[in-house]
């Protein structure tokens, strides 16, 4: 029987997992023995070689034929990563969340297929909301610009020695105070502009 071909990872008995890890396994007669998951293909290949030594395979069927003894192979092979009960519980919880999300997407797709009028109404509603939000933000931005321009004009008038046209209760006075921080007295209060 010819030796098995090397896998896509470049090593015998090593496959790359979708999550980026490398899975090592070896066949013994009709059994497939799992050797665990490793961070690199090199570590998984070393684990394969250690198992091949234990099974009495010839060195030509190993990934690293330069290893001369079983003890050398065992010393170079890292132990497999063990999955703890917590790892299994986290994986199960993640799988449940993924299944729920997939089922939710399937149900929503079915609902959109069965109720096209409701779907159109919902899309119209969200489009209207986006337009209203855009309009509201645009109005707020214009109002801020107007208030800032008014405050700057007032500050220029006061700095030039003129009288303020705001009363102390006017909220635009606060804008002037914010935009002209050098108009505070030594105590940190606002100078009296409305004399």
Asked if residues 48 and 59 have their Cβ atoms less than 8 Å apart, the reply is: no
- Measured from the Cβ of residue 12, the count of other Cβ atoms closer than 10 Å reads 20
The per-residue pLDDT for 81 is 56
The edge-to-edge listing of strands for the beta sheet with 22-28 is: 14-16, 22-28, 31-38
For the chain, domain boundaries = 14-76, 85-142
Host H or E run for residue 35: strand 31-38
The per-residue pLDDT for 195 is 42
The per-residue pLDDT for 153 is 74
Exposed e or buried b for every residue in 62-86, given b needs 16+ CB within 10 A? bbeeebeeeeebbebbeebeeeeee
pLDDT digit of tens for each residue in the chain (195 aa)? Answer: 445 555 566 788 888 888 888 888 888 777 778 887 888 888 888 888 888 877 778 877 778 777 777 777 777 666 555 566 777 788 889 889 999 999 999 999 999 899 999 989 999 999 999 999 999 999 998 888 887 777 777 777 667 666 666 666 666 666 655 554 444 444 444 444 444
Q: Would you state the structure tokens that stand for residue 36, as one six-digit string?
A: 């665990």
Q: Would you state the structure tokens that stand for residue 177, as one six-digit string?
A: 């105070």
pTM of the predicted protein model: 0.38
What CATH number does the domain located at 14-76 have? 3.30.730.10
How far is residue 27's CA from residue 74's CA, in Å, rounded to a whole number?
A: 18
């Amino acid at each position: 029987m010819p030796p098995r071909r090397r896998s896509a990872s470049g090593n015998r008995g090593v496959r790359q997992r979708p999550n980026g890890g490398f899975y090592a396994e070896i066949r013994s007669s009709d059994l497939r023995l799992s050797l665990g998951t490793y961070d690199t293909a090199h570590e998984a290949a070393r684990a394969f070689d250690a198992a091949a030594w234990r099974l009495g395979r010839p060195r030509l069927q190993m990934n690293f034929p330069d290893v001369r003894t079983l003890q050398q192979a065992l010393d170079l092979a890292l132990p497999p990563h063990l999955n703890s009960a917590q790892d299994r519980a986290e994986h199960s919880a993640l799988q449940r969340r993924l299944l729920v999300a997939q089922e939710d997407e399937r149900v929503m797709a079915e609902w959109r297929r069965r109720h096209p009028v409701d779907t159109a109404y919902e899309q119209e509603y969200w489009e209207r909301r986006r337009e209203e939000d855009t309009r509201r933000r645009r109005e707020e931005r214009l109002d801020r610009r107007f208030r800032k321009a008014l405050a700057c004009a007032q500050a220029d008038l006061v700095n030039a020695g003129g009288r303020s046209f705001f009363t102390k209760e006017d909220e635009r006075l606060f804008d002037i105070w914010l935009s002209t921080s050098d108009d505070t007295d030594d105590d940190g209060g606002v100078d009296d502009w409305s004399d």
